[in-house]
Amino acid sequence: MATLPAFQFESLSVPETGAAVLFVDKSLTLGGVGQSLDEKSGGAIGRAIPAADFKGDFCKTIRILAPAGADLDQIVLVGLGDEALSERDFAALGGAAMGAVKGLKSVMVVAEANGKEIDAATASLIAMGMKLRAYDFDLYKTEKGKPKEAAKAAKVTILAADAEGAANIWETDDAVSNGTILARDLVNEPANVLGPKEFAAKAKALEELGAEVEILKLADLEKLGMNALLGVAQGSVRKPRVAIMKWMGGFNDEAPLVFVGKGVVFDSGGISIKPAAGMEDMKGDMGGAAAVTGLMHALCQRKAKVNAIGIIGLVENMPDGNAQRPGDIVTSMSGQTIEVINTDAEGRLVLADLLHYSKETFKPRFMIDLATLTGAVIVALGAHNAGIFSNSDALCAQLSASGAATGETVWRLPLAKEYDKMIDSKFADMKNTGGRWAGSITAAQFLKRFVGDVDWVHIDVAGTAMDAPKTEISQGWASGFGVRLLDRLVKDNYEG
Ligand code: BES
Ligand code: MN
Ligand code: ZN
């Protein structure tokens, strides 16, 4: 993992060393600590604003180097724009601030907007945005091109009116940041390093945070009859695993929330092999499993008052002499038979057995699965919304609200019997592809055949978890999408 800054919270004061960060809107009025800093530096801030043509636009920054009269290395102004700011905006502002001070040893962030105090929760959100922005995945860059560790490991002090309140909230937000960063790390790791066994070990490590983790191996999966999942794995020399992570922080008799993740550590397509161009991206085909693991990390670390179970199917989809063939028919754990038309539609085969197993074993309050399931969802929604599919309007509404709050937004796509018909098979109960059209929906219809009447949402994160565009809080290829979304869903609706 990349070296990340350490955060601390202190009461409001005028920063004296290091870099100081101030937030101002388009009125460009300083006030409060900013005013004092400006006076101390002989009006350096007031002069720099027009000189740098800084207008206070949202997330725009200027840097004033070595201001006279102060012992500061620099003063950074971050623009608030002139519109009402939501939670996700404050995280983005933290990200923008980190972008301007990255690599500095000591950063003092003044939690004021135009000199008016920022509340504790918002101060913590700024820290979260900063931490997520500071992440990069440089594990495999050898020393030469790599920034010096010491310079990168900045100390960030947030100066806030309610420093104690902010520090308390940060304990929770930091757990969620760490979960997001864990998910990013898992997705960014190459498949030669992170196979099913290695991923399972990362899940097992959650025991250090108080989770109860069980790893099912090949013989266990055979015994359970998870033949749909096993069919995908059979072309790889690396054996599959299923990891079950339990956090029982709720009441004894409370039905658990179950999160299911697609963990295809590499998806070559199998015998229906993918084209060479871009195939390297398929190391990220475990983005769903990574989000589930990151979420469980967050819930454990922040000791969420909820019963939650994460279950991930870890397999590699490879072509070899023992690989599954198009035309093969497998009997899933549920007893339903599946004709494998295309071995590249493997994610749904993995999830089918996990969903059935979860429904039977855990008697869940709901099941939410996350999967980099279809290229078609990228065609439909790009990188800015995950597709959701569900049998529960209420759960969709909750998820949409969590998406809007965190910025990990989701958009619902339909399910209907006309789409379901598209996966009927001539030879078996169903086939694993539904043809060219509505590819994300027919994939979801396939999953729906394994959830029974449990409340369920499928989140297709193919466009959002990996190969993500740069944002103020995510600079890397992996975004960690899903961790903040689902943590928020739990926090707002299912705790205490
Ligand atoms: N892992 C892919 C989907 C994917 C594509 C994820 C691009 C991330 C980026 C999935 O297993 C897959 O290959 N889906 C096929 C399904 C088709 C064969 C019915 C697809 O989307 O083309
Ligand atoms: Mn595939
Ligand atoms: Zn896949």
pLDDT digits (tens, 9 = 90+) for 5-53: 999 999 999 999 999 999 999 999 999 999 999 999 999 999 999 999 9
CA distances, 195 to each of 201, 286, 313, 352, 480 (Å): 10, 10, 12, 21, 19
Query: What's the whole-number mean pLDDT along residues 84-95?
Result: 98
Ligand 1 pocket test, pick from 285, 315, 379, 461 with the greatest ligand atom count within 8 Å of Cβ, gives 285
pLDDT at 450: 99
Centre of ligand 2 to C-alpha 349, Å, is 10
Closest residue CA from atom 16 of ligand 1: 345
pLDDT at 68: 87
* Residue spans of alpha helices (H) in 369-414: 376-381, 393-406
Ligand 1: does its nearest atom lie under 6 Å from the Cβ of 344?
yes
pLDDT at 351: 99
Ligand 1: does its nearest atom lie under 6 Å from the Cβ of 433?
yes
User: Is 492 in contact with 176 (CB distance < 8 Å)?
Assistant: no
Centre of ligand 2 to C-alpha 274, Å, is 8
Ligand 1: does its nearest atom lie under 6 Å from the Cβ of 267?
yes
User: Is 245 in contact with 213 (CB distance < 8 Å)?
Assistant: yes
Dist CA 487 CA 215 (whole Å): 23
CA distances, 189 to each of 185, 266, 280, 328 (Å): 6, 11, 12, 32
Ligand nearest to the CA of 462: 1
- CB-proximal residues (5 Å) to ion ligand 2: 267, 344, 346
Ligand 1 pocket test, pick from 374, 445, 446 with the greatest ligand atom count within 8 Å of Cβ, gives 374
Centre of ligand 1 to C-alpha 167, Å, is 42
Ligand nearest to the CA of 376: 1
pLDDT at 103: 86
pLDDT at 223: 98
pLDDT at 263: 99
Dist CA 444 CA 460 (whole Å): 9
Ligand 1: does its nearest atom lie under 6 Å from the Cβ of 383?
no
Q: What DSSP state is assigned to residue 25?
A: -
pLDDT at 116: 97
Q: Which of 152, 348, 359, 449 is catalytic?
A: 348
Query: What's the whole-number mean pLDDT along residues 100-126?
Result: 96
Between strands 410-412 and 329-331, the pairing is unpaired
Closest residue CA from atom 7 of ligand 1: 375
Three-point CA angle 104, 106, 108, nearest 5°: 115
Encode 207-229: b = buried (16+ Cβ within 10 Å), e = exposed: eebebebebbeeeebeebbbbbb
Reported confidence tier of residue 473, pLDDT bands at 50, 70, 90: very high
Ligand 1: does its nearest atom lie under 6 Å from the Cβ of 265?
no
Counting residues of the chain whose pLDDT is more than 70, the rounded percentage is 98
- First-to-last alpha carbon distance for the chain, in angstroms, is 33
Between strands 6-11 and 155-160, the pairing is parallel
pLDDT at 175: 98
Centre of ligand 3 to C-alpha 347, Å, is 5
Phi, psi dihedral angles at 327 (to 5 degrees): 100, -20
Centre of ligand 2 to C-alpha 368, Å, is 20
Residue labelled with tokens 């490991």: 153
Reported confidence tier of residue 146, pLDDT bands at 50, 70, 90: low
Does this model's pTM top 0.95? My answer is yes
Query: What's the whole-number mean pLDDT along residues 96-107?
Result: 94
Instruction: Compute the mean pLDDT over every residue in the chain, rounded to the nearest whole number.
Output: 97
Reported confidence tier of residue 54, pLDDT bands at 50, 70, 90: very high
Helix, strand, coil shares of the chain as percentages rounded to 5?
A: 40, 20, 40
Q: Is 427 helix (H, G, I), strand (E, B) or coil?
A: coil
Query: What's the whole-number mean pLDDT along residues 363-387?
Result: 98
pLDDT at 149: 62
pLDDT of 276 over the 90 cut = yes
Dist CA 466 CA 481 (whole Å): 8
Ligand 1: does its nearest atom lie under 6 Å from the Cβ of 99?
no
Q: Which of 26, 60, 238, 274 is catalytic?
A: 274
Ligand nearest to the CA of 340: 1
pLDDT at 145: 59
Between strands 106-113 and 155-160, the pairing is parallel
Query: What's the whole-number mean pLDDT along residues 311-338?
Result: 99
Dist CA 286 CA 294 (whole Å): 12
Ligand 1: does its nearest atom lie under 6 Å from the Cβ of 460?
no
pLDDT at 476: 86
Ligand 1: does its nearest atom lie under 6 Å from the Cβ of 372?
yes
pLDDT of 235 over the 80 cut = yes
Q: Which of 492, 483, 180, 493 is nearest to 365 (CA)?
A: 493
pLDDT of 67 over the 90 cut = no
If you compute the radius of gyration of the chain from its CA atoms, what whole number of angstroms results?
Answer: 24
Closest residue CA from atom 13 of ligand 1: 344
Dihedral angle of Cα 479, 485, 487, 491, to the nearest 10 degrees: 160
pLDDT of 1 over the 70 cut = no
Ligand nearest to the CA of 342: 1
Query: What's the whole-number mean pLDDT along residues 245-267?
Result: 98
Closest residue CA from atom 14 of ligand 1: 374
Query: What's the whole-number mean pLDDT along residues 318-339?
Result: 99
Tell which atom from ligand 1 comes closest to the C-alpha of 466: 8
Centre of ligand 2 to C-alpha 345, Å, is 5
Centre of ligand 1 to C-alpha 63, Å, is 44
The structure tokens listed for 33 are: 């600590």
Centre of ligand 3 to C-alpha 190, Å, is 15
Three-point CA angle 330, 334, 338, nearest 5°: 30
Residue labelled with tokens 């739990």: 490
Question: Can 348 be counted among the known catalytic residues?
Answer: yes
Ligand 1: does its nearest atom lie under 6 Å from the Cβ of 270?
no
Q: What DSSP state is assigned to residue 58?
A: T
Closest residue CA from atom 22 of ligand 1: 375
